[in-house]
Chains A and B, each alone.
Chain A
Amino acid sequence: MLDVKNLTKSFGTFKALDDLSMHISEGTVYGLVGPNGAGKSTLIRCLTGVYRPDSGTMLMEGQRIYENPGIKSRIGYIPDDIFYFPSATMEDMRSYYRNTYPRFDNALFNRLFEAFQLPRKSPIRRFSKGMQKQAAFQLAISTRPDVLILDEPVDGLDPVMRRQVLSLILSDVAERGVSVLVSSHNLRELEDICDHVGILDHGKMLLERSLADMQGNTVKLQMVGTVPENLPVLHASASGRLNTYILRASQEQVQAAMAGVDCPYYDILPLSLEEIFIYELGGADYAVKDILM
């Protein structure tokens, strides 16, 4: 669906995206994660046709995205920092979107008023942050996009609304095969909805894999004793006699390696996405540091 190859974008001497490649398949939820300043927002702005890349290609179904209104009309985008026309109401924005997006679904827009309960005639700038985000969702989803790009989608929403929004996204994926790219620092929630993950760091794609693959290929081993040498260790820590190792290996590989080790106690545990993120980036010199106050 969305293909990015060797994308590079610089701002002056600073290279925000460095020869980046990624792929988002149809009907998948792709989680884009990375530390602050990794280039997530820059990548998203390139994918939505805001920035012109310095080199590389961005294609959606084989067609370029930049300055292509036909393709851009099939991309729904909700930025982290939403902006509306001053004093515009929901009705004003509906009118604008209806005249801008050819597939705008007026009936869906009306149905979503029941879900989100937003005022129709009040200026959107008077809404709370969460309500503004809901308004952005309502407008974006009503355009019936084939690709939905979300930057911090549930930031500012209450728990009930979070669940509602995520449910809407997933039902759209299931019903219409919408592809979703979600950028978020809330890895716990991302873990619930994503089936693919890309970890970005310093403008490069560090790791891009399905979530199942990622969780299946990185495990936590807690044991009394020393880890076998043939297992690749991402991180090691100790608490008394209990050693904890983060290993880039599958559960089966670890079990096979431990079979020949005389160890009084060991346990193999799955990692959460947050733990994978921390330990993968720790390998890329971005670890939790002890700071002396």
Chain B
Amino acid sequence: MRSRTSLCNRADLRVDFTRFAPLWALYTVGLAAGIMMCLPQCRTAYYTATTLSDLAGVMAPVQFGYALVIAQCLFGYLYDTRLCYAIHAMPQTRPCRFRSHVLAGLLFAWIPDLLGAGLCLLIAPEMEIAVAWWLVSVCGQYLFFYGFAVLSVLCAGNRVGGVLVYGIGNFLPLLAAWLAGAVFQPLLFGITVPTEPFSIACPLVQLTQEDYLTIVAPRVDAEFNRILEAMYPNGERMGYLALCCGCSLVFLFLAGRLYRKRNLEAAGELLAVKALRPLFLLVFTLASGALFQLFASVFAGSTAYGYLLAGIVVGYFVGRMLLARQVNVFQLRAIPGIAAICAVFFALLLLTGLDVTGIIRSIPAEDSIASVSVIPYARNNGQGVTSEDPGDIQAVLALHRGEVDRWKSWRQENRGISGLLTETYQRNLDSKDSETIWLTLRYRLKDGRTLEREYVVDFHSQGGSIAEEFLNRPENILGVKDRSELRTLAFQEVEIYGNWECGTYCTVDDVQGLLNAIYDDCEAGRYRLRYLEDLEDTEYVSHIYFRLDDDETIFVYVYDSQTATASFLKDHVRPFPEDRKNS
């Protein structure tokens, strides 16, 4: 084919496929090997479907790395002045060349993926729907990662820059989550920085989930294999994937624009786009600070803010070295930059710790509250209680006020930076588990908003008494408000552990009788959380797992103070049937 201003150039495609044949061949062989290791062992359609769904999740980190390697190979000539000049002297427009390499890069994964799908069908010919969705998933993942890789490579002027832009871009939400959790969270008494938004903003995390297919298999056969009844793509996961694919098209469009405008003399620089340099320096500096503190917490067991400061300073100068491509960056003119970053960042920390906005101290007005919920942190402490009762609302507000007052008085007693920075952590570290409980207070407001606070409540305090009353209710223990609702609970199994005459692993036949006994103890105020074992002279009797039909579990501790439950168990407990032990 002669060169023309066309969609793409066959000569470039052919060169790309021949030059980088080892890469896509390795990917193809690896994919085939992975499929051959997993699929032939699946005994039934259920296991094939779950394996394909899992495989789609496993492919995400592989595609993440492969996409960067391919983008660096195909566009790497932009990093070498000799090759760059030689290629751009050829009679071809930049957009045509760009399209040729993008197409080649996509085919480097999509063709092997298609072959992989064909192999899956050879192994499991009846699973064409699952295989088709697997193919859509992995192709979509690669499209996203490749689009971002191409954009990263075109923002950069050398391979290190390409890797840094790609890595920082993909992991930035996680670094931000770490900064929020490790740096700002200790300053926010009662307020938990939500991590879910950061996780949602990180495609690498989301696309690595293994729930691409929703598989319905409630029954088992005679050999205890699950029977596949229905299978369909997980709407949430596929919707997220579609969004990522849309973003990738935007990335590729931007990359194409960058390529058209690119000054070829930028080859060898860390970043080819000058406007990105200050942003890179800022992000790299903060990321270094976050990583320093992360390593300090993992290896030294310390979250001291000194590590953050050290990381910021080191990151700033290393970033300048990377940008300038020289070691001599310790100049006076570098001081204002690092001083500004440190000043702004630590000012933010100070303002957060001083609660300038009043968010820590804010308590909603009683007449603005529709309902309150008291929820223990650990599932084995119950499922929580929700109430619209005005008395309960007042009690929760009193608990809330008590915790804020304790925070204020602690701050008064511990003035200075240490009081500002370590108050929450220090208080929690000093608390003994058996005398405290971690609670979430949730307000559903009349204007539709929801407000949450988390506190480690001391049982000796007035707030602790309020919390104890809520947590000992049947709603928290069994998840039902009224005794009549006990009949609506559907169980797969009831497992009773303890030192019984008939053994340590037991069950009962009369499940409703057991539930009624527990309900009696709660109503009579005899129910206690296990943490008070050290405070009152009670003896452990048993712990019970109620496994519900929807795979949820109700967990109950039994002490001799719970007379109705203890007595019922003594009369009705029997060994767990052998034939049901393995299911």
Residues of A within 8 A of B (CB): 11, 45, 48-52, 67, 69-73, 75, 77, 79, 81-83, 85-87, 92, 95-96, 99-102
The residue on A at minimum CB distance from B274 is: A12
The residue on B at minimum CB distance from A87 is: B19
Q: Give the CA-CA distance A96 to B17 in the complex, in Å.
A: 13
By CB atoms of chain A within 10 A, which of B2, B3, B96 has the most?
Answer: B3
How many residues of B sit at the interface, in one of the four size bands? Answer: 20 to 34
Q: Is the CB of A50 within 8 A of B2?
A: no
Q: Does B5 touch A at the CB level, under 8 Å? A: yes
Given A86-B19, A99-B11, A102-B3, the answer on whether A67 and B86 have CB atoms closer than 8 Å is no
Q: Is the CB of A45 within 8 A of B85?
A: yes
Which chain A positions have C-beta within 8 A of B570?
none
Which chain A positions have C-beta within 8 A of B85?
45, 50, 79
Specify which of B1, B82, B84 is in contact with A99 (CB 8 Å cutoff). B1
Q: Is the CB of A83 within 8 A of B92?
A: no
Q: How far does the Cβ of A86 sit from chain B's closest Cβ, in whole Å? A: 7
Q: Is the CB of B93 within 8 A of A69?
A: yes
Q: How far does the Cβ of B266 sit from chain A's closest Cβ, in whole Å? A: 10
Q: 16 extra interchain contacts, Cβ-Cβ under 8 A, other than A69-B92, A92-B18?
A: A45-B89, A49-B88, A50-B84, A50-B89, A50-B264, A52-B263, A69-B4, A73-B3, A75-B89, A95-B14, A96-B11, A99-B9, A99-B11, A100-B11, A100-B91, A100-B92
Specify which of A52, A73, A96, A101 is in contact with B15 (CB 8 Å cutoff). A96
The residue on A at minimum CB distance from B94 is: A67
Q: Give the CA-CA distance A259 to B89 in the complex, in Å.
A: 56
Q: Is the CB of B86 within 8 A of A79?
A: yes
Can you pick out 18 interface pairs between chain A and chain B where the beta carbons lie within 8 Å of each other? A49-B88, A49-B89, A51-B263, A51-B265, A52-B263, A67-B94, A69-B91, A72-B89, A72-B92, A81-B82, A83-B80, A92-B18, A95-B11, A95-B14, A96-B14, A100-B9, A101-B3, A102-B2
Which chain A positions have C-beta within 8 A of B14?
95-96, 99
Q: Give the CA-CA distance A87 to B18 in the complex, in Å.
A: 11
Q: Is chain A's interface secondary structure helix, strand, loop, or mixed overall?
A: loop
Given A50-B88, A100-B9, A100-B11, the answer on whether A69 and B265 have CB atoms closer than 8 Å is no
Q: How far does the Cβ of A261 sit from chain B's closest Cβ, in whole Å? A: 55
Which chain A positions have C-beta within 8 A of B264?
50-51
Which chain B positions have C-beta within 8 A of A77?
89
Q: Give the CA-CA distance A99 to B9 in the complex, in Å.
A: 9
Which chain B positions have C-beta within 8 A of A100?
3, 9, 11, 90-92
Residues of B within 8 A of A (CB): 1-5, 9-11, 14-15, 18-19, 80, 82-86, 88-94, 96, 263-265
Which chain A positions have C-beta within 8 A of B82?
79, 81-83
Sorted from nearest, which 5 A-B pairs have the closest CB atoms?
A: A99-B11, A73-B91, A72-B91, A83-B82, A69-B91
Which chain B positions have C-beta within 8 A of A49?
88-89
Q: Is the CB of A69 within 8 A of B3?
A: yes
Q: Give the CA-CA distance A82 to B4 in the complex, in Å.
A: 25
Which chain B positions have C-beta within 8 A of A75?
89, 91
Q: Is the CB of B15 within 8 A of A85?
A: yes
Q: Give the CA-CA distance A92 to B18 in the complex, in Å.
A: 10
Q: Give the CA-CA distance A184 to B83 in the complex, in Å.
A: 21
Q: Give the CA-CA distance A231 to B18 in the complex, in Å.
A: 67
The residue on A at minimum CB distance from B263 is: A52
Q: Give the CA-CA distance A85 to B14 in the complex, in Å.
A: 13
Specify which of A52, A70, A96 is in contact with B91 (CB 8 Å cutoff). A70
Q: How far does the Cβ of A45 sit from chain B's closest Cβ, in whole Å? A: 6
By CB atoms of chain A within 10 A, which of B5, B14, B83, B85 has the most?
Answer: B85
Which chain B positions have C-beta within 8 A of A73?
3, 91
Which chain A positions have C-beta within 8 A of B265?
11, 51
Which chain A positions have C-beta within 8 A of B94?
67
Specify which of B19, B90, B92 is in contact with A85 (CB 8 Å cutoff). B19
Q: Give the CA-CA distance A291 to B145 in the complex, in Å.
A: 59
Q: Give the CA-CA distance A101 to B89 in the complex, in Å.
A: 12
Q: Is the CB of A83 within 8 A of B83?
A: yes
Q: Give the CA-CA distance A140 to B80 in the complex, in Å.
A: 22
Q: How far does the Cβ of B529 sit from chain A's closest Cβ, in whole Å? A: 69
Q: How far does the Cβ of B236 sit from chain A's closest Cβ, in whole Å? A: 45
Q: How far does the Cβ of A90 sit from chain B's closest Cβ, in whole Å? A: 15
Q: Is the CB of B93 within 8 A of A99?
A: no
Given A86-B19, A100-B91, the answer on whether A69 and B5 have CB atoms closer than 8 Å is yes
Q: Is the CB of B91 within 8 A of A101?
A: yes
Which chain A positions have C-beta within 8 A of B80?
83
Which chain A positions have C-beta within 8 A of B86?
79, 82-83
Q: Give the CA-CA distance A195 to B519 in the complex, in Å.
A: 109
Q: Give the CA-CA distance A101 to B2 in the complex, in Å.
A: 7
Which chain A positions have C-beta within 8 A of B92?
69, 72, 100
Q: Give the CA-CA distance A206 to B50 in the complex, in Å.
A: 76
Q: Is the CB of A99 within 8 A of B2?
A: yes
The residue on B at minimum CB distance from A86 is: B19
The residue on A at minimum CB distance from B82 is: A83
Which chain A positions have C-beta within 8 A of B263?
51-52
The residue on B at minimum CB distance from A67 is: B93
Q: How far does the Cβ of A14 sit from chain B's closest Cβ, in whole Å? A: 11
Q: How far does the Cβ of B53 sit from chain A's closest Cβ, in whole Å? A: 41
Q: Give the CA-CA distance A270 to B60 in the complex, in Å.
A: 75
Which chain B positions have C-beta within 8 A of A96?
11, 14-15
Q: How far does the Cβ of B7 sit from chain A's closest Cβ, in whole Å? A: 14
Which chain B positions have C-beta within 8 A of A83?
80, 82-83, 86
Which chain B positions have C-beta within 8 A of A48?
89
Q: Is the CB of B1 within 8 A of A72?
A: no
Which chain B positions have C-beta within 8 A of A95?
11, 14
Q: Give the CA-CA distance A77 to B88 in the complex, in Å.
A: 11
Q: How far does the Cβ of A8 sit from chain B's closest Cβ, in whole Å? A: 14
Q: How far does the Cβ of B274 sit from chain A's closest Cβ, in whole Å? A: 9
Which chain B positions have C-beta within 8 A of A102?
2-3
Q: Is the CB of A99 within 8 A of B10?
A: yes
Q: Give the CA-CA distance A51 to B88 in the complex, in Å.
A: 9
Q: Give the CA-CA distance A50 to B262 in the complex, in Å.
A: 11
Q: How far does the Cβ of A234 sit from chain B's closest Cβ, in whole Å? A: 36
Q: Give the CA-CA distance A69 to B4 in the complex, in Å.
A: 7
Q: Give the CA-CA distance A45 to B84 in the complex, in Å.
A: 11
Q: Give the CA-CA distance A81 to B85 in the complex, in Å.
A: 10
Q: Give the CA-CA distance A52 to B93 in the complex, in Å.
A: 13
By CB atoms of chain A within 10 A, which of B4, B5, B15, B83 has the most?
Answer: B15
Which chain A positions have C-beta within 8 A of B2?
99, 102
The residue on A at minimum CB distance from B4 is: A69
